[in-house]
Structure formats: C-alpha cells, structure tokens
Structure 1
Amino acid sequence: MAREAGTRTVALSGGCFQNAGLLERVCEQLEGFELCLPREAPANDGGLAYGQALVALARLESH
C-alpha cells in the first residue's frame, strides 16, 4: 500500500506490535522503508488515538 501511495514511510501501531517477535518480522519485511515505530506513544489504542489526532490536525492545517 505504501508503494501504491508513493510513500517510503510506514507507521506500525496497534496492540499487535507489543509482540516483539511480530514487530521484528514485520520490520524485516519492510526493509528499505522508513519505519515509525511505537516508542514515544504506546503501541495499543492510546497510540492509535494519538495518530488519528495527528492526521486530523494535518487535514485541518491543509485547508
């Protein structure tokens, strides 16, 4: 999907990425992409809400 959208940046979030093994395997598959990983925001619902707020802010600022 990132390639189709013309971006090299992929954000990985959601509770499933609290699983270190899954996160590691997905990162290996996304080699060559700039990855945004759950470090400063939690990987669970709190991080998703934070990301949604950032998208909303970006959309508001673009209008």
Structure 2
Amino acid sequence: MKTTLIILRPLSWSPVNGQKGKYCTDKYPADECWLTLNNFPDEPLWTLHYKGEVKNLEETPVFWKVNH
C-alpha cells in the first residue's frame, strides 16, 4: 500500500485555506495527497487520501506534525 509509506514518513501538514478539515503537505502534490480531519470519536480521527487510496487513521502517526 502506498499510504503505508506516507504514514511512516516525517511530514508536516498544514490546513488548506477555505476547506475546513482538509490538510496538505509540501512533500506531495495537493491534488494527489491530502488529509481530512473527521468527526472524531464517531468516525476515525483522520482519513489519508493518496492517489486514489484511502486509509482511515484512529490516531496521528508519530512522525507527523499537524499544524492547526
């Protein structure tokens, strides 16, 4: 899975202006890779989208920094 490699990389995520709950990293093109903040705890905390793959995450990966 391509998403597994992203989860293991040290990445910094920043909010996308005008798109509530959407975050992008400067390491990947914004139209290919983004992170969505969900309605936790009713849903997984994050959903990672990468080149058509979707991976739900219950917690923030240890190597990531998410800027709010």
State whether TM-score is above 0.5. Answer: no
Larger radius of gyration: 1
Higher relative helix content = 1
Given the two structures, how large is their TM-score scaled by the length of structure 1? 0.27
Higher strand proportion (structure 1 or 2): 2
TM-score, normalization by structure 2:
0.26
